Chain A
Amino acid sequence: MIDAGGVGYKWNAGTLLRTFRKSVPVLPFLMYVFFVLGLPTIVITALAFKSGNGHYTFSNIKVILSGGQYRAGFENSLKLGVVTAIIPGIIGTLIAYAIASSKSGALKRIVATASGVLANFGGVNLAFMFVATFGAVGLATTWLNAIGLDPWNYGFNIYKLWGVAFVYMYFQIPLMVLVVTPALNGLRPSWREAAEGLGASPWQYWRRVGIPVLLPSVLGCMFLLFAGGFSAYATTEALTGGTVALTPIQIGAYLNGNVIATEQNVGYALGFSMIIVLLIAVIGYSLLLKRSSKWLQL
């Protein structure tokens, strides 16, 4: 029926049937993903634009955008996502570079394994560990207090937004080390040698070669970190008991029934807004990673 650009490959009933038959074993999996992931997403999207009595409306979205607690929560979540992407992103890249350029195989293995474990370490246990360490009477707080540097006297509070950011670094830094290491390993020594051979200083090498080559992957990985920091719930909920105004916490409170009757479907609008932001982040991540693979054989 259609000649695919003169390649000579013709689609006909036979090949279509064969392709279909070949895909049959994958159908159960695809249906599973549809029912467990796709359908709930459709429901969230539909309810985000419905009022309590079933009419289509933009009022749920307007409630969030117009100000008040939901807008504050959304702005806080965005801030948290950006800060816990940039700072751990930079620290993680520096650690990964220090490891990648060292000659010790043991150090590389230890850091790789530790990063793999710690990157998936958000959650309840992490919250408890930080209360025991940097809480008002935590071990590190007590030590610092003994030398007159109690961080709590200088505005530090582990139960507030920036305290939460400090805790998130515990899984964000290892995640960055994990995802950015392949890019750093792709930085070929021959490029540095070539630059030096042409008389480049280390600074010139980094400015003209190293940073331009690495920047897409580093930024891409930061998008991934942003997604994690923006949507994390368990750590903050266990740490603060839901007292910090963040969108995930507000969705949790909504599900637990803490909602005003006139704002019945606002929870779904919050969920929908998060999906939109995260979609942008993941697309940014994929595009930047694709771009970086132009230079780096990942």
Chain B
Amino acid sequence: MATAVRRLKPGRAVLLLLSLIYFVLPIYASLQFSLENVQGGFTWSAIRAIPSQPGLAGSVWLSTRIGIVTMIILMLLVVPTVIYVHLRLPGMKRTMEIITLLPIVIPPIVLILGVLDATPLGLKASPYLLSLVYVVLALPFVYRSLAAGLDALDLRTLEEAAKSLGSGALRTIRFVILPNLRSSLLSAVVLSLALVLGEFTMASLDLWQTLPVWIVNFSGSDPHISTAVAMLSLLGTWALLALVVFLDRSHSRRLRKGLVQ
């Protein structure tokens, strides 16, 4: 790393140094803010006070439930469709790409306007309405990550090999294609989970107190505690990301050594 930086031309080194400061300073400042008392000294009191905050546990549980339902729909509906399109309907790839651009054209703040108006009352009263919409928000991440994984595979050969060994279509998907998509699936899941757990726009306008909504609602009463919660949720997300990268690396290392079939 140090030698890499030394090898850069001075202009570039200055540019990279300035951007490093811009991106790291806010993280450092908020960590410090979460860990200081009124006099500016160090204290764990904001962190220690977190578990007893009214409404926090409920909001974490709500976010978790919404996240789980979102993941279930993604796995049962979106992932099979993407695999099917790549296996049998490659002509539809272009349509899928256009669909993944749609959440940019209709961003959350606009979509929620129409969703709240078009949803029947019974569903509108349920927090899982958010899960239904989050699936659409996660679509670009899931599609791009899976499509990259699928494009890298020689699907035709894999499928024919499995077929000649007597495997049916579902068996081929379960035992041949899905294992090969492991890392794309993992990154799709983590990216969409991070998106769902951090989503504020639609949750707040649909009047559900998910974790990000709680953080904003609570920020008036004690900014130290809400900043601490914000940093914790951030560290949690990053830990999740790091875990996935780590699991994926160690898996492929073992694969190379032949320890995993």
Interface residue B238 (Cβ < 8 Å from any Cβ of A): yes
Question: What per-residue 1/0 map shows which CB atoms of A23-47 lie under 8 Å from chain B?
Answer: 1011011001100110111111001
CA distance A268 to B16 in the complex (A): 43
Asked if A159 is at the interface (CB within 8 A of a chain B CB), the reply is: no
- With known contacts A139-B28, A282-B104, A44–B204 Cβ distance under 8 A: no
| Min distance, Cβ B210 to any Cβ of chain A, angstroms | 10
Bin chain A's interface residue count.
35 or more
Q: Identify which of residues 6-57 in chain B touch chain A, using a CB-to-CB cut-off of 8 Å.
A: 7-8, 12, 15-16, 19, 22-23, 25-30, 32-33
CB-based contact B110/A28 at 8 Å: no
How many Å from the CB of B132 to the closest CB on chain A?
6
Q: Are B77 and A28 in contact (CB under 8 A)?
A: yes
A256 contacts the other chain (CB 8 A): yes
Contact pattern, A 93-135, Cβ under 8 Å of B = 1, otherwise 0:
0110010001110110010011001101001111011111110
Whether B85 contacts A26 by the Cβ 8 Å rule is yes
What residue of chain B has the Cβ atom nearest to residue A44's Cβ?
A: B114
Closest to A92 in B: B19
**Distance of A237 Cα from B200 Cα, bound (Å):** 9
Interface of A is mostly: helix
- Smallest Cβ distance from B211 to chain A, in angstroms? 9
Contact among B8, B29, B104, B227 with A278 in the assembled complex (CB-CB below 8 Å): B104
Are the CB atoms of B8 and A98 closer together than 8 Å?
Answer: yes
Q: A47-B117, A107-B4 are in contact. Are A271 and B110 (CB under 8 A)?
A: yes
Q: Is the CB of B109 within 8 A of A124?
A: no
Q: Is the CB of A36 within 8 A of B102?
A: no
* B198 A124 Cβ-Cβ under 8 A: yes
Chain A residues near B26 (CB, 8 Å)? 126, 129-130, 132-134, 170
Residues of B with C-beta under 8 A to A32: 77, 135
Partner of A40, one of B111, B212, B216: B111
Residues of B within 8 A of A279 (CB): 105
**Docked pose: A258 CA to B139 CA in angstroms:** 32
B106 close to chain A: CB less than 8 A: yes
A8 → B minimal CB distance (Å)? 19
- Complex Cα distance, B29 from A35, in Å, reads 44
B201 contacts which chain A residues (CB < 8 A)?
233-234, 237, 252
Distance between Cα atoms of A28 and B112 in the complex (Å): 22
**Is B8's CB under 8 angstroms from A40's CB?**
no
* B4, B191, B226 pick with most chain A CB within 10 angstroms: B4
Contact of A275 with B106 at beta-carbon distance under 8 Å, contacts A26-B89, A129-B230, A139-B33 already known? yes
Tell me the smallest distance from the CB of A110 to a CB of chain B, in Å: 8
Q: Any chain B CB within 8 A of the CB of A224?
A: yes
Interchain nearest-CB distance for B254 vs A (Å): 21
Q: A139-B32, A278-B104 are in contact. Are A95 and B136 (CB under 8 A)?
A: no
* Size bracket, chain B contacts: 35 or more
Name A246's closest neighbour in chain B (CB-CB): B109
Cα distance, A33 to B84, chains bound together (Å): 17
Bound complex: CA A104 to CA B12 (Å): 14
- Residues on A with C-beta less than 8 A from B16 are 95, 98
A259, CB-defined interface residue at 8 Å: no
Cβ–Cβ < 8 Å partners of A102 in chain B: 4, 7-8, 12
By a beta-carbon cutoff of 8 Å, the part of chain B in contact with chain A is 1, 3-5, 7-8, 12, 15-16, 19, 22-23, 25-30, 32-33, 77-78, 80-81, 84-85, 88-89, 92, 99, 101-118, 132-133, 135-136, 139, 191, 194-195, 198-201, 204-205, 212, 215-216, 219, 223, 226-227, 230-231, 233-234, 238, 241, 245
**What is the interface of chain A, defined by CB distance below 8 A to chain B?**
22-23, 25-26, 28-29, 32-33, 36-37, 39-44, 47, 91, 94-95, 98, 102-104, 106-107, 110, 113-114, 117-118, 120, 123-126, 128-134, 138-140, 169-170, 173-174, 224, 227-228, 231-234, 237-238, 248, 251-252, 255-256, 267-268, 271, 274-275, 278-279, 281-282, 286
Taking A43-B114, A228-B104, A275-B105 as known contacts, 18 extra A-B pairs with beta carbons closer than 8 A to each other, sorted by chain A number, are A40-B113, A41-B106, A42-B114, A47-B117, A91-B19, A124-B198, A125-B233, A126-B26, A128-B227, A129-B27, A131-B223, A133-B26, A140-B25, A233-B107, A252-B204, A256-B205, A271-B110, A274-B110
28 A-B pairs (CB sep. < 8 Å): A29-B78, A37-B103, A37-B106, A43-B117, A44-B117, A91-B19, A95-B15, A98-B12, A106-B4, A117-B238, A124-B198, A124-B216, A125-B233, A128-B219, A129-B227, A132-B30, A133-B26, A139-B29, A170-B22, A174-B23, A227-B105, A237-B204, A255-B113, A267-B113, A275-B105, A275-B106, A282-B101, A282-B104
- Which 6 A-B pairs give the minimum distances between C-beta atoms? A40-B114, A104-B4, A231-B107, A139-B29, A234-B200, A133-B29
